[in-house]
Each structure stands twice: as structure tokens, then as C-alpha cells.
Amino acid sequence: MIFAENLSLLRSGRPLFEKASFTLHPGWKVGLTGNNGCGKSSLFALLRRELQADAGTLTRPAGWVVAHMAQEVEALDQPAIEYVLDGDAEWRELDLRLNDLDGIDGTEMGNLFARYESIDGYTARSRAAQLLAGLGFAEGDQQRPVAEFSGGWRMRINLAQTLMCRSDLLLLDEPTNHLDLDAIIWLEDWLRAYPGTLLVVSHDRDFLDAVIEHTLHIEHGVLTHYRGNYSTFERTRAERLAQQQQAFEKQQQQVAHLTSFVERFRAKATKARQAQSRLKALERMTLTAPSQVDSGLDIRFRSPERLASPLMRLDEANIGYDKTPWLTGVDVGLYPGARIGLLGPNGAGKSTLVKAMVGELPLLNGTRLISEHTRIGYFAQHQVDHLDVKATPLLMLQRISPKTDELSLRNFLGGFGFGGERVTSIIAPFSGGEKARLALALIIWQRPNVLLLDEPTNHLDLSLRHALLVAVQAFEGAVVLVSHDRNMVSVICDELWLVCNGRVERFDGDLDDYTQWLRKWRAETARAAVTAAAQATAKAQPKAAATEPKTDTSASSKKVVRSADIRSLQQQLVKLEAAMAEHQVTLEACAKALSASTIYETANAAQLKQTLAKQSETQTALANAESDWLSKNDELEALTQ
């Protein structure tokens, strides 16, 4: 177990937490929460033994393997799947040794293969491929070099490498920041099945609710353990704060009463002894502190100077890049008070649509109508990277509004957490959350009446997300939101648009309905791929194709096509089942051969290597066949529902 006793850690002379004591049992799934800068990452560093505590102790079992998700990935030429496999360091070492058996005697060779089998080494590549697929990578992406992927996709590869490690303790810091909803749902399922101890930092409350069973909360230098998921933690903490405030107020009344008695009767001879007794009672009293709640941010949108109706329209718009349309026939409008959430699979074109609305991406066809009174506030992650890091928050705002007095600018920035010396500090060393806050402040100052927010909550902690959520709810203009934060989408948006298959359409339903739609869409996409492969095969046989009847789009024809698809899938399942049976027979033969002690003699090294290679090859083939069978079976179920 993980055990902390009187643990204290200082940074730059400031205590992050003091005299913290807690116990985490093996297999617990724990959420680590608290405002940015409270010490969450430092606690991770203590658990990884990269830091030493200033006081107290923090212990964990010496033999535990710790997996931690790094925040940066180098631009490597290594294929993505090989990078993921590096997450299992022992597997990589054994794999390298087993590929070069020269000079190894039979006993050592047998031990190596026995260990390789005990860690499921033969299924490692299949497991790595499944991790990449779950996180949204196509099969063809697995062999692409890491350097070819963008920063967000590299973080997904990095997460896959972390999950590949057969760890006892898994430390995840904001694992959902670069994931879409599909990948987040997959990750939730994976983490719920993870057998080790999990500590996760996340500002996605729905993700935390789905995964964690305990919460460690850091606030005002105090680390407190709560049982339950994040919603349970919030309720319990609110009750505790209310009780603390009541105890404080009651004690203050008692202190006031005792103090009044002492002051009135200290000099009176007949009451001097009683007064002295009450004075000692005051001195012995352990004072209860008043409850303190982090105020977070005071984000408030300034009222737009003018509103128009509509604020913006796209009519018969084709949107794309290099004259290639990604979205066609887009007809949408924004009106004051609109609250639009954009949904759709990763890569479907949500951000592309937002860029077209902003005017950053010219239309290929159609018209973009915008009122002369429309002011757009556009927030996207790449804008954070374009801040002048050599400037200060105050200077950045002064450039926008040079005629506004400094006191007003300071007061405004103070509401975003840039108070005191922070308002005149150079931006370069700011955290990602601070830069995001500043970018939002600069947008809000300009009094927009249209807000286009593309993943605005990345790097914002839970309290700051809540402050932004409240502010957007009170905003008078129109809002278009792209976010994987399900709580923010469900609370803010009263209309959902689905971006998929080159179209933008209204989605009738909520986020639970969208989750179900997403699963069906994936099954249909897989079925379409099977159909496309069959059509490609048919084209390769022109004589046979020439005798086929013309395509009929009638209902009866669709039933025939559907029946043909069902028969095709059933035949494929039968073939896969037969292949799996053959693989099992081969594996049993390999196991029987490997059970003979003579095969491990030096003279039989070549036979051993050949048998083990056959076993490894067959296990991989079996894993692939099982995966294909599950996929085909899902497609069949979707067709027969």
C-alpha cells in the first residue's frame, strides 16, 4: 500500500501541503484534485521518487512498477507501435535477447522463454495494436513514424505507451486533454478494468465519476481523503465546510461570552477567581478556523455593445482545404442567445466548421453572411501558443485598449487570477492554464457577441472550468462550443449539431444518445469497409460483374443487399472459427513439444527456436482472428437488430 505520515513539501519557501497523512490500498482508483499549483504534480514526483519530502514520510512497496504519462513526446522516426511496445521495458529486453540466441545455453534459453510466456509476451503486439485502435488510430497509422503525428496525436501515442506498461501503480496527469469523446469512453472502460492502483489528475468531472472510487483533495496546504467519486466528494466537502462554519460561529459566540466575562469581572475581588478560570479556559481552547473556499475566478462577460439577428449565416457552403470539400451544403445560422454544441467523430470537421465561421478558412462555395455589428470572440488552443511570451498580462491588454486607465485594466485582469505581481510578470514561464486564462481575458475584454470556443477547457482546473461555465451561461450573445468536457456541453448547450460524413445537421437527442449513435456509427463504418472490399473484388472480375443485374434502389433490392451482407458475414465467421480451431491445434502441438526436457539441450537450440517462433506466430494469428471474429460479430448483430 501507499502510506503517508506527516508529509510536508515546500516550493520556493511556500508550503504546498503540510502534515498530510493518508493510506491508499492496492487496487484503489483515486482522483487527485485541487487548483492549479496546489501540489498535485509534486505529489506524483514524490511517488516516483524524483523528489524528497521536506518532512514526514511517503512509502510504497519497493517492488512496484510505476507507470507515468510524460507530458512531451519527441519527434522520433520510430514507428508508433514500436514506441508503444517500449512501454513494457521487460518485454522489449526479452524480445531483443530472444532474437539473438547465440551463446546462450539451453537452461538460460528455457528460462528466457518461460519468462516471456509468463508476461504474455506473445500477445504484446496485439495488445499494443488494440491500445492504439482504442485511442483512435487507424490500422495504417501503427507503422507511421511518431514524428509524422501532430502534438495532440503524439500525446495519444504517449498514453498508449503508458498503458502498455504492466504497472502496479499508474499515474495519469490529464489523460483526456487530447482525446475525443469516443476515445474517452474507451479509456474509462480500460481504467475500470485496470488491476493496479490508479492515481489520476483530471479536470473532466464526468471522466472522474466514471473511473475513481476515492478522492485526495489538496486545498490551503491540507490534503484530505474522501471516499467516493468526484460528485460524492463535492457533496461531502460541501457538508464538511458547512459543519466547519457552524462550529466556528458557535465557538466565536463562546469566545465572545468568556472574553466579556473576563473583561467585566477581572478587577472585581468577588469574581476575580472565576474570571481567571475563564481566562485559562480561553487559553486552552483550540480555535476552529472559519471555512475557506477557493474563490477561483471572477469571469464576467462584458455586455455586447449591439446585437443583430442573425449574427451570422452560412448558406449552401462548401468548406475544405486545397479545393477539396470536407463539408458540403452547410446551412446554419447564429442568433442572439443561441447555445450550440458541435458533436462528431474525430476528424469529421468540427474545427473546420468553426474556422469557416470565424472567417479564418475561406469558403470553397456558398456565402458567409455576417452583420456589421457582429464581433467574434474565437478561442482555440493554437491561439494560446501565439501569445507574446515576452510581454506581461497588463501590457497585452494595454495594446488592445491603450486609452483605458491602468487601474481598470488591473481590476479586470485580477478577476482572471492575475493580481499583485502576477499582472506585471513575463508570460513565458506561465503554466498552460494561466496562458489559457489570459487568452480568454483578452477575448472577453473586446466585448464579443459571438463566442466560438474550440476546446476552451484544456489546461483549466475544475474551479476555473466552473467559473467559465457560469460566465458563458450569463453571456447574452451566441455560443458555439466544441469540447470533450461532457458536463460543459450538457450544461451550456441547448442545441446540438452533428458533423459527420461531410454534412452538418441538427442532432435530436442528448449526450447519452450521442454515445449510442457513435457506437452504431462505428459498426456501420466497419460494415461499409467490408462492402467496399467486396466491391473492389468484384471489379477485379469484369466478366462476372457484367452478368450481374443493375443496381436497384427499391426497398426489395435493399433487403436483398442486406441479406447478402448477412450471409457474407456469417460465412466469414465460420471461416474465422475454423481458423481459430486450427491455431489452437497448432498451439497444443507447440506446447507438447516445449514440454519435453530434451528440446532445451544445446544441440536442439535450432529446433527450440523454430518451435517458439511457430508458437509466437500462431498466437499472434489467433489473437488477430479472435479480434476479427468479434468485429464481424458486432457487424452482424448491427445488421440483424
pLDDT digits (tens, 9 = 90+) for 122-138: 888 889 998 998 898 88
Residue 61 to residue 623: CA distance in whole angstroms: 34
Quote the percentage of the chain above a pLDDT of 90. Answer: 30
* Grid cell of 326 as nine digits: 470536407
* Grid cell of 369 as nine digits: 453572411
287 contacts 251 by C-beta, under 8 angstroms: yes
Beta carbons within 8 Å of 21's beta carbon, 6+ residues apart: 4, 5, 6, 7, 56
Residue 290 to residue 533: CA distance in whole angstroms: 69
Helices 605-640 and 555-595 pack at an angle, to 10 degrees, of 160
Residues in the chain: 641
What is the pLDDT at residue 268?
57
Residue 583 to residue 586: CA distance in whole angstroms: 5
What is the pLDDT at residue 548?
46
Question: Any idea where the domains of the chain sit in the sequence?
Answer: 2-82+131-228, 235-284, 312-508, 551-640
- The sheet carrying 55-59 orders its strands as 14-24, 2-11, 55-59
Cell 443485374, residue located: 549
Beta carbons within 8 Å of 357's beta carbon, 6+ residues apart: 312, 314, 334, 368, 376, 452, 480
Which amino acid appears at position 623 of this protein? A
Judged against a pLDDT cut of 90, whether residue 426 lies above it is answered with yes
Residue 545 to residue 565: CA distance in whole angstroms: 17
* Grid cell of 197 as nine digits: 492502483
* Grid cell of 276 as nine digits: 481567571
The DSSP output letter for 79 is: B
Contacts 24+ apart (CB under 8 A), 391-398: 391/426, 391/427, 392/423, 392/424, 392/425, 392/426, 392/427, 393/418, 393/422, 393/423, 393/424, 393/425, 393/427, 393/438, 393/441, 394/418, 394/423, 394/424, 396/427, 396/438, 396/442, 397/441, 397/442, 397/445
Q: Which of 472-486, 547-561, 589-603 has the highest mean pLDDT?
A: 472-486
HEC string for 135-149: CCCCHHHCCCEHHHC
pLDDT digits (tens, 9 = 90+) for 439-471: 888 998 999 999 999 888 777 777 777 888 888
Residue 344 to residue 541: CA distance in whole angstroms: 37
Beta carbons within 8 Å of 432's beta carbon, 6+ residues apart: 384, 458, 459
Pick the residue with more confidence: 344 or 599?
A: 344
Phi, psi of 625 (to 5 degrees): -65, -40
Question: What is the DSSP pairing of strand 339-343 with strand 478-482?
Answer: parallel
Helices vs. strands in the chain: H and E counts, helices first = 21, 18
Residue 287: HSE in the Cβ half-sphere, 13 Å Cα cutoff: 9
pLDDT digits (tens, 9 = 90+) for 359-375: 999 999 999 999 989 99
Instruction: Decide: helix, strand or coil at residue 466.
Output: helix
The DSSP output letter for 38 is: S
* Grid cell of 398 as nine digits: 494595454
Mean pLDDT value of segment 32-56: 86
pLDDT digits (tens, 9 = 90+) for 384-425: 778 899 999 999 999 999 999 999 999 889 888 888 888 999
Residue 146 to residue 456: CA distance in whole angstroms: 26
Q: What is the helix (H) or strand (E) element at residue 15, kind and residue range?
A: strand 14-24
* Grid cell of 489 as nine digits: 456541453
Query: In the chain, how long is the greatest CA-to-CA distance?
Result: 122
Q: What is the helix (H) or strand (E) element at residue 112, kind and residue range?
A: helix 106-118
Other C-beta atoms lying within 10 Å of the C-beta of residue 191: 19
Q: How much is the mean pLDDT over the chain?
A: 82
CATH code of domain 312-508: 3.40.50.300
Q: 72-76, 277-281, 370-374, 542-546: lowest mean pLDDT where?
A: 542-546
216 contacts 42 by C-beta, under 8 angstroms: no
pLDDT band for position 329 (cuts 50, 70, 90) = very high
What is the pLDDT at residue 293?
45
Please tell me the pTM assigned to this model: 0.66
Per DSSP (E only), the strands in 472-617 are 478-482, 495-500, 503-507
Judged against a pLDDT cut of 60, whether residue 288 lies above it is answered with no
What is the pLDDT at residue 383?
73
Instruction: Decide: helix, strand or coil at residue 367.
Output: strand
436 contacts 459 by C-beta, under 8 angstroms: yes
* Grid cell of 114 as nine digits: 518461460
Residue 527 to residue 536: CA distance in whole angstroms: 14
Instruction: Decide: helix, strand or coil at residue 514.
Output: helix
pLDDT band for position 257 (cuts 50, 70, 90) = low
CATH code of domain 2-82+131-228: 3.40.50.300
Instruction: Decide: helix, strand or coil at residue 629.
Output: helix
Identical topology for domains 2-82+131-228 and 312-508:
yes
Judged against a pLDDT cut of 60, whether residue 630 lies above it is answered with yes
* Grid cell of 460 as nine digits: 483549466
285 contacts 250 by C-beta, under 8 angstroms: no
What is the pLDDT at residue 363?
94
Phi, psi of 196 (to 5 degrees): -85, -165
